[in-house]
Amino acid sequence: MSFDHRDAGTSDSAWLATAEWASVQALGLGGVELLVVVAAHPDDETLGAGGLIATAHAAGIPVAVIVATAGEHSHPESKTFAPERLTVIRRAEVVGAIDALAPGAPVQLLGLPDGELRQNADSLTAAVRACIGDHAGVLVVSPWRGDGHPDHTAAGDAAAAAVEAAGATLVEYPIWGWHWGRPDSPAWPWQRLRTVPLGREAVAAKAVALGLHRSQTEPLSDAPGDEAIVSSSFAAHFRRDFETFFVADEPVAPNSHESLAQGYFDTFYEGRTDPWGFETRWYEERKRALTLAALPRRRFGSALEIGCSIGVLTAELADRVDDMLATDIAQAPLDAAAHRLAGRSEVRFERRALPQEWPDETFDLIVVSEVGYYLSPDRLDELVRRASDSLNDGGIVIACHWRHPVSDYPMRGDDVHEAFRRSAMLVRVGGYDDDDFLLDVFGRPGTASVASAEGLA
């Protein structure tokens, strides 16, 4: 998502006029024994959840706030305020704002680099997990991962990882989504939106707190580049007598016999450019290197990649393939992948739900990376069968999957690889495994090893 805070954006009156509000349910605080608020930058906590903080505090619910960065790069074009100066200013502002909302509430200022939260998300996850501790009834609120700001997405991902590990509850607050979004857009997930009504005291406390973030709501100076980030029209979204939060989709029960539907992936990619960190995580870079190293041939004539996502692995595979079909069930990642490989005529992108919409082609290489656990057992068996039937002579299937359990997924990575290993049409000819992922290379029975193929053995 690309937007500019200086644009007019969608007015608050346009949002409030939509009939969709009639179906939005309330988010209750019953059973909440600790509220943990995660902010990517100072002022996120006030804009997105200031009223909730004040409401919880007034109800006697303990509140803890974690601010990931100092927001030191909020004015990148400023010639008068250096990032170091903004760090000091914004830290003081957020401490004052939280004290106005929930006097005495603990605040953690992590000081992670502004604009680089994705690269430092593990530190934020650890901080949120430590804050949750062994408490029961914990509600964690974090920036909406579809908000369009990369730091907000990273903060939401970090909070989600901590919540999953601790068994807490997560809701996400939109900020910039009100600016670039539109009420009639199919990308706006109304079905997941919930509201928290705010009393007069909470509205007043939030107004005071927002006013304390002067470096964002007022110009730093009259110089170019020092303009206010939070304009009066943008601030109108946060002067309502209610706040809004997105809840998670209903999870698929563990060991469900249903494959994940297309809607799951469309929602997952809402406003998120790299939800799995393919471009930034060493884990992903290392896994790709091992995958490419495991391929037993230097070059392949034709290839099929199932679930190409945003095309990071696709780009590296393309260097070793003459003709490649890359597929995904969701359009947003396909568009990103096509943009990444623009001009690479050897790669074709198609939206397909596999194995049901299997292409009428045969291949020298079929790549099944991080997709098998989304399928039901029956669909997985169908995929294994279709893959083996679609191999040319000497063809290779390579499978790679995360081993740790994910509550949403019908299967685990180990289950996927077991399905391939029990196929009578395929034999394992290589691979790698560790605690995190499995990598298996399969060929038809009688497939020669690399050394045998080169006459070395």
**What ranges make up the beta strands (E) of 248-362?**
300-306, 321-328, 347-351
Give domain status of residue 187, yes or no: yes
For residue 305, which of 384, 350, 366 has the smallest C-alpha distance? 366
What are the residues facing 350 on neighbouring strands? 327
Q: 157 with 31, same domain?
A: yes
Give domain status of residue 403, yes or no: yes
Q: 241 with 268, same domain?
A: no
**pTM score, whole prediction:** 0.61
Which of 221, 247, 273 corresponds to the end of one domain?
247
**Domain of 326: which CATH number?**
3.40.50.150
Which of 214, 247, 280 corresponds to the end of one domain?
247
Which pLDDT value is given to residue 252?
41
Q: 337 with 294, same domain?
A: yes
Q: 306 with 446, same domain?
A: yes
Cβ proximity of 430 and 279 under 8 Å:
no
Which pLDDT value is given to residue 2?
53
Rounded to whole angstroms, the Cα distance separating 98 from 63 reads: 10
Q: 206 with 289, same domain?
A: no
Which of 212, 247, 282 corresponds to the end of one domain?
247
Containing structural domain, residue 236: 12-247
Number of structural domains (the chain) is 2
Q: 219 with 364, same domain?
A: no
Give domain status of residue 444, yes or no: yes
Q: 440 with 358, same domain?
A: yes
Helices (H) and strands (E) in the chain, counts: 16, 15
Q: 355 with 442, same domain?
A: yes
Give domain status of residue 325, yes or no: yes
Give domain status of residue 254, yes or no: no
Give domain status of residue 1, yes or no: no
Give domain status of residue 252, yes or no: no
Q: 180 with 290, same domain?
A: no
- CA R_g for the chain: 25
Give domain status of residue 7, yes or no: no
Task: Sort strands 437-443 and 427-433 into parallel, antiparallel or unpaired.
Answer: antiparallel
Q: 193 with 310, same domain?
A: no
Which pLDDT value is given to residue 251?
43
For 239-276, the pLDDT digits (tens) are 999 999 999 864 444 445 578 777 778 777 876 788 88
Q: 354 with 389, same domain?
A: yes
Q: 236 with 99, same domain?
A: yes
**Domain of 219: which CATH number?**
3.40.50.10320
Average pLDDT of each block of 10 consecutive residues along the chain (457 residues)? 72 95 93 97 98 98 98 95 97 98 98 93 96 96 90 92 93 94 83 95 98 97 94 96 86 55 77 83 95 96 97 97 96 94 96 94 97 93 95 96 83 93 94 94 93 88
